Structure 1
Amino acid sequence: MVVQAEQLKGRFQGDPSFEYEYTEINAEDAERLIEDGKEPMIKEEARLVATIEQIDRAVGIIPRGAFVKTPLGSVHENRNFEGLSLTDAKKLSSYFHFTEPVNLKSKTLLEKADLDPSTDFLDSLEHDIPQGSWTVQLEKGGTVVVLRSLLWLGLTFYHVPMTKQYGYIYFGSGEKNLDLPFMM
Structure 2
Amino acid sequence: MQADYLHQYLDYVASNGLVLSPEQKVALQVSLEIVKKNYKFSRVYFWGKIMGLTTDYFIVQGVETDELKDKKSLYSFNCMDWKLLPPATDKMIERSMMVKGRFMGDPSHEYESITVKKTDVETIEEVSLKIKEEERLTATIELINKEAAIIPRGAFIKTPLEQVHRNRSFEGLSIIEAGKLQSYLHFTTPLILKKKSLLLQANLEESIDFLNSLDDDELKVFWSLQYEKGSKLVILRNLLWLGFTFFHMPETAQYGYIYMGLGERNIDFPFMI
Please identify runs of 4+ aligned residues in structure 1 that moved more than 4 A: none
* Conserved? CA contact 1:12–1:44, under 8 Å: yes
Map 1:56-71 → 2, pairs under 5 A: 56-71=145-160
1:134 and 2:232 correspond? no
Map 1:29-178 → 2, pairs under 5 A: 40-104=129-193, 113-114=201-202, 115-178=204-267
Shift of 1:151: 1.0
SS for the counterpart of 2:176 is helix
Assess, with a 3 A threshold, how the Cα gap between structure 1 residues 14 and 73 changes in structure 2: closer, same or farther. Answer: closer
User: Residue 122 of structure 2 corresponds to which residue in structure 1?
Assistant: none
* Conserved? CA contact 2:245–2:258, under 8 Å: yes
CA-based RMSD: 2.4
Shift of 1:180: 2.7
User: Residue 36 of structure 1 corresponds to which residue in structure 2?
Assistant: none
* Conserved? CA contact 1:8–1:22, under 8 Å: yes
Shift of 1:27: 7.2
| Corresponding residue pairs, total | 174
SS for the counterpart of 1:132 is helix
Q: Distance in 2 between matches of 1:82 and 1:111?
A: 23
Instruction: Report the TM-score, using the length of structure 2 for normalisation.
Output: 0.58
Shift of 1:71: 3.8
Structure with greater strand percent: 2
* Conserved? CA contact 1:130–1:181, under 8 Å: no
- The one of the two structures with greater contact order (alpha-carbon pairs below 8 A, sep at least 6) is 1
Assess, with a 3 A threshold, how the Cα gap between structure 1 residues 125 and 103 changes in structure 2: closer, same or farther. Answer: farther
User: Residue 93 of structure 2 corresponds to which residue in structure 1?
Assistant: 2
Q: Distance in 2 between matches of 1:167 and 1:88?
A: 17
SS for the counterpart of 2:247 is strand
Name stretches of at least 5 consecutive residues in structure 1 with no aligned partner: 34-38
Assess, with a 3 A threshold, how the Cα gap between structure 1 residues 137 and 102 changes in structure 2: closer, same or farther. Answer: same
Q: Distance in 1 between matches of 2:95 and 2:130?
A: 9
Assess, with a 3 A threshold, how the Cα gap between structure 1 residues 113 and 170 changes in structure 2: closer, same or farther. Answer: same
